[in-house]
Structure 1
Amino acid sequence: MNHRLNDAVGATGRVRQAIMVWDIPVRVFHWLLVICFAGAWLSSESERWALIHYAFGYTACLLVLIRLVWGLIGTRYARFSQFLKSPKAVIGHFMAMLRGHPHHDVGHNPAGGLVMFVLMLLIMLIGFTGYLSVKEFLGDFASEAHEVVANLVLGVVILHILAAIGMSLIERQNLVRSMINGKKQGMPEQGIRYPQYLIGSLIFFGAIYFFYLIMSGSLPSLTQ
């Protein structure tokens, strides 16, 4: 009980409360990327589903490109400057966890931020090797590289899920739910003011439209 009380109280002795941390664009990106990766993985073994596979894969790459831009101009906790830390900071985070004194970051912690950024780069690499495979560049090498990177990403995704569950237990707050409602525990002044509904909606419908274009064969340069 005392541990829970201490976790709910900030360094100033004030009680933490639910604040808005993740804006709509970040949440839309996260869950659409989950759908795209799962869809691409499930449709990868059938030639009949080739266009569906391409649509999921290329849409994932589009989402990553958008997220990279939002990481530069987005809200406070969406920005790379907030969570991409030095190797020393990442190691310090792991050491603090091993000592049983984890940092309760409002946004991404140093390790989580690094894993997320690496995952985005790997998604882009999957898309690039997939494009090379479609165009039959580099022969079988492109197809094999595409499969290897996809398996690597699956491993990182599993690690990410396990880490989210583990940190939820350590921080005593549901991080999966936080990526749904955008809220985490913190001080009122730490929260973001504007969820960015309009930009989030544009990203959502833009990704859906791009998926449709690939599925309908309207962008043959990517699929033939």
Structure 2
Amino acid sequence: MCAQPSNKVKVWDPFIRIFHWSLAASFLLNYTVLEEGENLHEWVGYYALALIAIRIVWGFIGPLNARFSDFWPTPARIKAHLREHLHGQTPSPDRHNPVGGLMILALMAGMLVTGITGWLSTTDMFWGEELIEELHEGAASVVMGLVCLHVAAIVWFSRKGPHNLARIMWTGYRTK
């Protein structure tokens, strides 16, 4: 008996998918539901920082399309990617493109600044410091803006292209 060829192509490994949705949930929970200064808000923030730390390690040792080197947004890569779009080509959704890589780095940097300033505001040295609190809130607002841009891009590319990118991130697979 011959095996039937699958019409699914593996795109994202389980860690990347769990990281993505867990980080999204923790950020949205802290930004919209949990009150700043509450213990649960702090612990969810620490959880987000731990996720990012593990993701950074995974960016060096994980599968090829999870590695930073695979999607690092150099000017040449960004230019080539944008040129493809201008010529009506739809790049493969089997990895992050350079512009998506730029978004990943911006989101991770913004989350790191948000988390670190949140943690600093609980230390004896910076507790009650207005500047740290303003940086924390400002960084969280910047991240929310990036999240909105990210979601809008995913919706746009999912409608324009041949694949539902959110579904691929949820299941880990795309159809051929």
Question: Does the TM-score normalized on the shorter chain lie above 0.5?
Answer: yes
One-letter amino acid matched to 2:69 = S
Moved more, 97-106 or 135-144: 97-106
Gaps of 5+ in 1: 1-15, 187-224
**1:149 is matched with which residue: 139, 143, 147?**
139
Q: 1:93 deviation in Å?
A: 1.5
Higher relative contact order (CA 8 A, sep 6+): 1
SS in 1 for 2:9: strand
Q: In the alignment, is residue 19 of structure 1 matched against residue 9 of structure 2?
A: yes
Residue 18 of structure 2 is aligned with which of 18, 28, 32?
A: 28
How far did residue 185 of structure 1 move? Answer: 4.3
- 2:85 matches 1:97: yes
Which residue matches 2:156? 166
Residues 86/175 of structure 1: CA separation in 2 closer, same or farther (3 Å cut): same
| Aligned residue pairs, count | 169
SS at match of 1:106: coil
Provide the C-alpha distance between the structure 1 equivalents of 2:138 and 2:79, rounded to a whole number of angstroms. 28
- Following the alignment from structure 2 to structure 1, what is the Cα–Cα distance between the partners of residues 175 and 72? 21
The offset of 1:137, in angstroms, is 1.4
CA distance in structure 1 between the partners assigned to 2:171 and 2:68 by the alignment: 21
The CA RMSD over aligned residues, in Å, is 1.9
CA 1:107–1:32: 2 relative to 1, 3 Å: same
1:93, 1:102 within 8 Å by CA — same for their partners in 2? no
2:107 partner amino acid? L
1:109 Cα deviation from its structure 2 partner:
1.1
Moved over 3 A (4+): 43-47
Out of 67, 71, 75, the position equivalent to 1:83 is 71
Alpha-carbon deviation of 1:57?
1.0
Distance 1:56 1:72 in 2: 25
In the aligned structure 1, how far is the partner of 2:121 from the partner of 2:63?
37
Structure 2 residue aligned with 1:57 = 45
TM-score, normalisation: structure 1: 0.70
- The reply to whether residue 137 of structure 1 matches residue 126 of structure 2 is yes
Match of 2:174 among 146, 166, 184: 184
Q: Quick one: percent identity of the two aligned structures?
A: 36
What is the alpha-carbon distance in structure 1 between the residues aligned to residue 96 and residue 175 of structure 2? 13
Contact 1:43-1:52 at 8 Å conserved across structures: no
Superposed displacement of residue 46, structure 1: 5.7
- Structure 1 residue 19 displacement after superposition: 0.8
Task: Tell me the distance in 1 between the aligned counterparts of 2:9 and 2:98.
Answer: 20
Letter in 2 for 1:113: G
Cα separation, 1, equivalents of 2:36 and 2:113? 21
| CA distance in structure 2 between the aligned counterparts of 1:46 and 1:121, rounded to whole angstroms | 20
Out of 71, 78, 87, the residue aligned to residue 59 of structure 2 is 71
8 Å Cα contact 1:71/1:78 also seen in 2: yes
* Equivalent runs, 1:191-202 vs 2, <5 Å: none
Between the aligned partners of 2:36 and 2:53, the Cα distance in structure 1 is 27
Determine helix, strand or coil for the equivalent of 1:134. coil
Provide, for residues 145-180 of structure 1, a one-character-per-residue CA deviation record: whole Å limited to 9, x for no partner: 101100000000011101111111222211111111
Instruction: Tell me the amino acid that sits aligned with residue 147 of structure 1.
Output: E
TM-score where L is the length of structure 2 = 0.88
